[in-house]
Structure 1
Amino acid sequence: MAVRRTGFVRARKAAGFTQESFAEVMHVDRSTVARWEQGTREPLPYQRPKLARLLKITMNELDELLHPEVESVAATQHASPPAVVVPSPRVVQAELLTQYEALTSAYRQIDYQAGSAAVYEQTVSQLNRLMSMADNVPSSHYQRFALVLGDTAQLAAWLAIDHQDYGAARRYTSLALSSAQEGEEAQLHAYVLGIMSYIHLHAGRGPDAVRLLLAALHLAENPRFGISQAVHSWLSEAIGEAYALAGDHRAGAAALAKAERLFDGVDQARRTGVARVLQRG
C-alpha cells in the first residue's frame, strides 16, 4: 500500500514551492508532483539530483523522504536486522562521459549516412543508460553530464520524429530541454526548441511552432550566447515554414531569405548536418 510522503510535502513547502510552482521548475505536470507526494509514483533517477537541490537537502535525505515506509517498519522492529554491506555505486568519471559523447557523435554520423533506423534503438538504449547513472554523478561533473544527456535526448527526439513516434519525441525533447537548462547551454536550448517546433509543424499547429521558434531565435540572435550560424540558419528556415503554415506568407518568405543568407556563411563541414536537419522538415 502506498505511504503518503508527508516529509516530502513539508520539505517542498519549506523550500517555498506550491505543487504548481514545483511542477513548473521540474518540467512535469502538477499531477506528477501530487503522485510523488501520495507515494504512488517514484521520481525518475535523472530527476532526483535536481529535486534534492530544489529542496536544499542531500540525496540521502531525499531518499529517506521518498521511502518513509522503510523508517516506519524499522521503528516497529524489536531487534535490528543483521547489517548488510552494500557496495557503493560506481561514481561516474569524466572518462565515461567522454565515451558517451563519442558514442552520441557516432550515432549522429550514422544517422546522416545510413538513416535513423540504423541507430534509433541504440540511441534510446544509451539515453536510458545515462538516466540510470544520474544518481552516481558527482557535482563536479553534473553540468557536463546534463549536456551529454541532453544531446543524446535531442538526437533520440529527431530519430523518433523520423519514425513518426511523436509521443516519444515529445518526451525526449522535454528531457533535452530540461538538461539544456540544467547544463546552462543556450545552443542546445535553442536547438531543442526548434525540434519541438517540428512536432507542432507535423501536427499542423503553425502558431505554436512560431512561438517556440521566436523563443529559439531570441537566443540565437543574442551574441552573448555564441550560437552557431548553422543553428541560426536552421531556425530561420524552420520559422519560415511555420509562418507559411500559419498563413503569414510575407513573414515566411523573409525568414527563408534570411536562412539562405545565413546558410551561405556556414562552412562546408557543417552544411551536411544542416541539410540533413532541413530534410527532416
Structure 2
Amino acid sequence: MTTRSKHGIFKTKVYTIQYKELSTNIHVALEYPDWRDVVLSEYNALLTNNTWRIVELPAGMKAIGCKWLFKVKKNADGSVERLKTKLVTKGYYQISSFDLMDTFSPVVQFSTVNIMLSLVVTYNWKIRQVDVNNALKLDFSLFVRANDGMVTYVAVYVDNILVTKSSQEETDQTIHKLQEKFSLKDLGQLKFFLGIEVHQSNRGLFLSQIKFVTKLLHNNQLLDGNHTSTPMVTSTMLSKHEGRTLSDPQQYSRMVGAL
C-alpha cells in the first residue's frame, strides 16, 4: 500500500494562539511573559519621554488615579498581530470645564488619507505605517527640508502614522528620524488602517472592510441575516409616533454610528 507519508506528502497544519484580553489588573498581566514585555516597553517609553515628575500634592488639589488598558490587535484575517497596552488616567473623575478643559488628539481627515492613497497608486510609491508606543504632547516645531523637489507625506491619526515618499530610501530616513525622537513600532508596508484592509500590488491598491463589517454584524447579532442589495426601502416614511419602541435604543445608536 502506498501512503501519502511515503511520498513526503503532508497536510499543512495551522496553529493559532489565542490571547484573552485582560482586565485592568496589572498584577495579573505581569504573570504572563508576553503581556509583561509590552507593559515594560510602554513603561520604559513613558520614562524615556519624561512623561511625569514626582511631586508633593499641592494643598487643595486632588490626585487622579490611573489604570492599564490591554488590547489584542488582530489582522484582517483574525490572526493576532500584536499585543498592546496603555497607561491612562481615570478621566471620569474629572468635571468638564471645572478641572478638565480641552483634550486634543491629532486626527487626520479621511479626505487627506484618500489623497495620500491616490498619490501612492498614481506614482507607484510604497506606503509605510508606524505606531507610537504612547501618546505625547508635542511642544516643539518640526521643520523638514525638501531636497530636489521631493516631499514627504505624513498622516497622523492619534497614534497611527502613515508615511510615503517618492523614494523608499527617503521614507526609511524619515522613519529613522522619528524613531530618534519618539518610541515607535515600525509596522512595515501598510496592511490595515482604521478598519480598512489594504493590499498593494503593481495594479494599485485594493481596499476592503470585511473585518469591520463582520465585527459590526457580530456585535449586533446579524451574522445570520439575509442578504439584500438595499438595506432599507428608500420611500419609507419614518415616524416617532408609529411602530414599537426599541428595547435597547443605545444599540441602535451604536449601529448607526458605526455605519
Fold conserved between structures, TM > 0.5: no
TM-score by length of structure 1 reads 0.28
- Higher strand fraction: Structure 1 or Structure 2? 2
